Amino acid sequence: MKLTYHGHSVVEIQTNGTTVFIDPFITGNELTDLTAEKVKADVILLTHGHGDHVGDTVPLALRNNALVVAPFELATYLSWQGVNVHPMHIGGAHQFEFGKVKLTQAFHGSSYIDENKQIIYTGMPCGILFTAEGKTIYHAGDTALFSDMKLIGERNEIDVAFLPIGDNFTMGSEDAALAAEWLRAKTVVPIHYNTFPVIKQDPEQFVSMLKDGVGKVLRPGESIEL
């Protein structure tokens, strides 16, 4: 399994010949190493409906005939745009051919603002537990710190956890460091920082707050192989 970080909260998973993207915010993401028109994806996993996470999902899915897995309301909204979807909800898991997906809770919002300045509700935000090839990846999505992260860590042997550190909209570094302790992941990668001025953070400082060897800063385009 190969995990590649592409800036903001974009994570690419290569597993068993399948390319999985989580929250493919590419167009408008100045920190990404990707060009949206060149990206190939078989599966897209979404944590919530905000534009900096749904991103390029619709054109990517339509061009690649990709399956989109998302919370029910968001999946329904995307299906109206011709996207092939699999709706899920928090606490539910499903075994796909490419791996197992389970949605966890996340404390955040989830909505889309249309051209008429109307806010469209897109369901509950979530985190994602993805398991394939005997490895488990946790992508927390956008979230505050919450105590059930202890339970997630106790019930799952997490190989890599992707945690937001940007503050303002999500956990900051201090809360994310406590989340890392509770989750007990073998490797923790910071995400959701520096894309916008209001979430400017120092990822190296965050890593210094973790147990030695646990934290790893990935620059856009850098990978971890499991």
Residue 122 lies in a domain: yes
Kindly state whether residue 193 falls inside one of the protein's structural domains: yes
pTM over 0.85: yes
**pLDDT tens, residue by residue, 79-134:** 999 999 999 999 999 999 999 999 999 999 999 998 899 999 999 999 999 999 99
Residue 53 domain-assigned? yes
DSSP string for the chain: -EEEE-STT-EEEEETTEEEEES---TT-TT----GGG---SEEE-S---HHHHTTHHHHHHHHT-EEEEEHHHHHHHHTTT-EEEEE-TT-EEE-SS-EEEEEE--S--EEE-TTSPEEE----EEEEEEETTEEEEE--S----TTHHHHHHH---SEEEEE---SSS--HHHHHHHHHHHT-SEEEEES-SSSGGG---HHHHHHTSPTTTB----TT-EEE-
Please give the pLDDT value at position 45: 99
Question: Is 212 a residue whose pLDDT tops 90?
Answer: no
The pLDDT tens digits for 153-176 are: 999 999 999 999 999 999 999 999
| pLDDT band at residue 210 using 50, 70 and 90 as cut-offs | very high
pLDDT in tens, 45-92: 999 999 999 999 999 999 999 999 999 999 999 999 999 999 999 999
State yes or no: pLDDT of 187 exceeds 90: yes
Domain count along the chain: 1
- The predicted pLDDT at position 78 comes to 98
75 assigned to some structural domain:
yes
Which structural domain, as residue segments, surrounds residue 25? 2-213
Domain-embedded: residue 220: no
CATH code for the domain of 94: 3.60.15.10
**Would 221 be classed as within a structural domain?**
no
Assess if residue 49 is contained within a domain: yes
Residue 77 domain-assigned (yes or no): yes
The two beta strands, 2-5 and 223-225, are: antiparallel
